[in-house]
Amino acid sequence: MADIKIYTSNTCVFCKAAKQYFNDNNIEFTEMNIDENPDAVEYLVSKGYRGVPVINIDGEDIVGFDKPAIEAKLGF
Protein backbone atom coordinates (compact mmCIF):
# COMPACT_ATOMS: atom_id res chain seq x y z
CA MET A 1 0.00 0.00 0.00
CA ALA A 2 1.22 3.45 -0.88
CA ASP A 3 2.25 6.00 1.74
CA ILE A 4 -0.02 8.98 1.03
CA LYS A 5 -0.08 12.44 2.58
CA ILE A 6 -2.52 15.12 1.50
CA TYR A 7 -1.50 18.69 2.36
CA THR A 8 -4.69 20.66 2.93
CA SER A 9 -6.21 23.79 4.44
CA ASN A 10 -9.54 24.28 6.17
CA THR A 11 -11.00 26.45 3.40
CA CYS A 12 -9.73 24.62 0.30
CA VAL A 13 -12.53 23.19 -1.86
CA PHE A 14 -10.12 21.09 -3.94
CA CYS A 15 -8.62 19.65 -0.75
CA LYS A 16 -12.07 18.48 0.32
CA ALA A 17 -12.60 16.92 -3.12
CA ALA A 18 -9.24 15.14 -2.93
CA LYS A 19 -9.98 13.74 0.52
CA GLN A 20 -13.42 12.60 -0.65
CA TYR A 21 -11.86 10.88 -3.67
CA PHE A 22 -9.46 8.90 -1.48
CA ASN A 23 -12.21 8.06 1.02
CA ASP A 24 -14.61 6.98 -1.75
CA ASN A 25 -11.92 4.65 -3.11
CA ASN A 26 -11.04 3.27 0.35
CA ILE A 27 -7.47 4.55 0.08
CA GLU A 28 -5.81 5.41 3.39
CA PHE A 29 -4.03 8.74 3.69
CA THR A 30 -2.65 11.10 6.30
CA GLU A 31 -3.98 14.64 6.25
CA MET A 32 -1.38 17.35 6.76
CA ASN A 33 -3.43 20.48 7.47
CA ILE A 34 -1.42 23.69 7.05
CA ASP A 35 -3.83 25.58 9.31
CA GLU A 36 -3.02 23.25 12.21
CA ASN A 37 0.43 21.83 11.51
CA PRO A 38 3.49 24.11 11.23
CA ASP A 39 5.56 21.19 9.87
CA ALA A 40 3.15 20.93 6.93
CA VAL A 41 3.65 24.61 6.14
CA GLU A 42 7.42 24.22 6.41
CA TYR A 43 7.39 21.30 3.96
CA LEU A 44 5.36 23.18 1.35
CA VAL A 45 7.51 26.31 1.67
CA SER A 46 10.71 24.26 1.39
CA LYS A 47 9.44 22.82 -1.91
CA GLY A 48 8.36 26.22 -3.22
CA TYR A 49 4.68 25.29 -3.35
CA ARG A 50 2.23 28.16 -2.96
CA GLY A 51 -1.06 26.34 -2.65
CA VAL A 52 -2.88 23.20 -1.67
CA PRO A 53 -3.74 20.46 -2.16
CA VAL A 54 -0.40 18.80 -2.59
CA ILE A 55 -0.67 15.04 -2.64
CA ASN A 56 2.47 13.11 -1.74
CA ILE A 57 2.43 9.47 -2.85
CA ASP A 58 5.48 7.44 -1.86
CA GLY A 59 7.63 10.58 -1.76
CA GLU A 60 6.45 12.04 -5.08
CA ASP A 61 4.41 15.25 -4.98
CA ILE A 62 1.40 15.92 -7.15
CA VAL A 63 0.40 19.58 -7.02
CA GLY A 64 -3.34 20.08 -7.19
CA PHE A 65 -6.15 17.55 -7.34
CA ASP A 66 -4.95 15.91 -10.56
CA LYS A 67 -6.94 12.66 -10.79
CA PRO A 68 -5.11 11.28 -13.86
CA ALA A 69 -1.72 11.82 -12.18
CA ILE A 70 -2.98 10.28 -8.92
CA GLU A 71 -4.43 7.25 -10.70
CA ALA A 72 -1.25 6.76 -12.75
CA LYS A 73 0.88 6.87 -9.60
CA LEU A 74 -1.44 4.42 -7.82
CA GLY A 75 -1.57 2.10 -10.83
CA PHE A 76 -5.30 2.46 -11.54
**What would the pLDDT profile of 17-74 be if each residue is shown by its tens digit?**
999 999 999 999 999 999 999 999 999 999 999 999 999 999 999 999 999 999 999 9
- Is the whole-model pTM more than 0.75? yes
How many domains is the chain partitioned into structurally?
A: 1
User: Which residues, 6+ apart, have CB-to-CB distance to 61 below 8 Å?
Assistant: 47, 49, 54, 55
Could you tell me the CATH number of the domain that includes residue 26?
Answer: 3.40.30.10
Q: How far apart are CA 34 and CA 10, in angstroms?
A: 8
| Domain, as residue range, for 22 | 4-74
Residue 6's pLDDT is what?
99
Residue 2's pLDDT is what?
87
